[in-house]
Structure 1
Amino acid sequence: MVRPSRRGFLEGSALTLAALTGVFNPATNVHASSRSAETLADLDISAPFADAFLPVPAEDALSTTYATLIAERVDADTAEELSYRARSTTEQLDIDVDELSATVAVMPADRGIRLVTAAGGFDRLDHGETLAVGERNGTTGGESNDGPSTEAETTDELPAGWRLTDDGEIALVTGDGVAAAAIGSTSSSSPRGRSTPSGDDVSDQRIETVREAGRAAAGEADRFAASPLGAAALSRLGGFETVLLIPDADSGPFLSRVPDNVDAFAVGFETNPEDLRDIEGTVENAYVIRAVDGADGLDDETVERLVRTVDPAVPVETDITRTDGLVLVDAVVEAPPEFDREASPDARVQSRFNRAAGTVTFEHVEGEAVPADELEVWHSGEEVSDTVLNGEEFTAGDEITVETGLIATVTLRWFDPDANVYDTYASERVDREAFAFNYDMTAETLELTYEAERSADASNLRLVHRGESGVRTVGDEFVDGTLEPGDSVTVRDVSVGDSVRLEFDVEQPPDGGSLVHYRARPPSVWISSRAEEGTTVRYDGEESRPADAFVTLVNGEPTDLQFADEYDTLSGDEELVLGELPLGSTVAVEWHEPNEPVVISEEEVVPNTHASIEYDPDAGEITVQHRGGRTLPASELELQAGRAPTDVQPADKLDEFGPDDSFTAPVPPLSRVRLVWTGGEDEHYLGGTTTARDAVAATYDVDTEAMTIEYVGEQPADPERLRVSVTGTGKSRGRELDRESAFAAEYDELTAGDAITVDDVGLDNTVVVSVHTEFENGAATSSVAHFSATPRRGFVVDDGGDNEASGTTLRYVGEVRRDADAFRVLIDGEPATNQPTDETDRLTGGETLSLGDLSAGTSVAVEWAAGDETRTVMEHVIPPQATFEVTYESADDGKGGVVTFTHAGGDTLDADRVDVVVEPATDGLRPWDSDTDEVTAGDETSVTADTEPKLAVVVFNEHETLHHEPLNRDT
Structure 2
Amino acid sequence: MSGSMPQCPRRTLLGGIGTTITVALAGNTVTATDADSTAEGGSAPRELGALQEYLPASAASDEDSIVLSASDFDRRRKADEPYEPRPTTGRFEIEPESVSKQVSVTTYGDEYTRPITVLAGDIQFVDEGDGETREAAGVEYEYYEADDGDGVAAVGDGVVVFATDSGTVEDAFAADAGETDRLLDAEPLLEEATGLYDDIDGYSVQLNDEYRVPGSDDDVEVDYVVRAMTVLGPDTIEMKYGIAFGDESDVTDELVESIESELAYQATKGDPTTEVDGDLVTVTAERDLAAERRVREHDSPGFLRADRDVDPDDDSLEIEIGRGDPTPVEDLTLEVGDEEYDREIWADGHGTLEEGDTIAIDMDDVEPNLSISLTHDHELGSSSSGTTILSRLRFEYDYDPDAETLTVEYADEFPLDGDSVTLAAYDERPAYRPDPDEGSDPHATAQPWTDETVSKGDQATVDGVRAGDTVLVGWDGTSQQDSIGTFRARPPGRVRFEYGYESETLSATIEFEDDGETRPADEYELLVDDEPTDTQWADEYETVTSGTTLEVDDVPVGTDVTVVWGDDARVGSTQTHPSIDLAFDEDEAAIEHAGGDAVPASKLTARVWSEDGTSEIDLADEIDGDFEDGDAVDIDADEVHHVTLRYGERRIVGFARP
TM-score higher than 0.5: no
* Greater relative contact order (CA < 8 Å, ≥ 6 in sequence): 2
Q: TM-score, normalised by structure 1?
A: 0.29
